[in-house]
Amino acid sequence: MAGRKKQKRPLAEGVTPPPKRVRRRSEPQLSPKAVHRTAWLTGLLTPVLMVGAAALGTNPDYQLPCGILAFLVLSAGVIGIGLIRARGWIIWPAVLFGVLLLALPTTSFRAQIMAQRGVETAVVVTAAHSAKDRNGRVSWTCDIRRADGQPLPHARVGGFGCSGTYAVGDTENILVDPAGWAPPVSPDEDLAFRRGGVYVTAALAVLWSLLTLVAARRTLREAGARRG
């Protein structure tokens, strides 16, 4: 009859069914030249562009677009490593190094700028704002203006430079970048500790490059062994 499904005949007694074939997904295979090219581009451009975006993001006016750009560069870099080495453990330290390169450099570069050219300046508190996080901790930011009436770019300070004890009209001394690029900070901030992040950033960039080259070398070695 039409539409009737065909039924499989049962196997004879003592006959075991053949094992089913497992289909494996074919991994993308790059040529040796493509592996070399991708490794050099990923290993060099990714950290350079991320660090460059972080340096530009030391100015709060550019921090958000630079953060988005750095994230897109990191995503492209991780994809590049995935193309070079589609399997193995290398992808996980690459993601870790990339996340640290996203989070660390901007704060460290700001501390470096303020430690080198910050000038202690008298400012007047014009407003104080509080915010509470999920753990109930309260943080403060203060709107400020220079006591001498001169313009002050990025006229807001947080951290040790502002607390709940500050009142509108109080005069405080903070570090100001004369060029107006980096935001003001309190003299009580541990700038020496934060400046150490510059060296950590350089080490992370080198580790990212080495990791990419190691991934390419292992892939090329395995490809050569298969051809041999």
Segment 80-95, tens digit of pLDDT: 998 888 777 888 898 9
Segment 161-193, tens digit of pLDDT: 677 666 788 888 999 999 999 999 988 888 888
Nearest by Cα to 110 from 222, 4, 185, 32: 185
Rounded mean pLDDT of 129-138?
A: 80
DSSP conformational letter for 118: -
Sign of CA dihedral 54, 58, 60, 62: negative
In this predicted structure, what is the pLDDT of residue 205? 95
Amino acid at 65: P
Segment 51-64, tens digit of pLDDT: 999 999 999 999 99
Rounded mean pLDDT of 33-46?
A: 88
What is the DSSP track for 37-64? HHHHHHHHHHHHHHHHHHHHTTSHHHHH
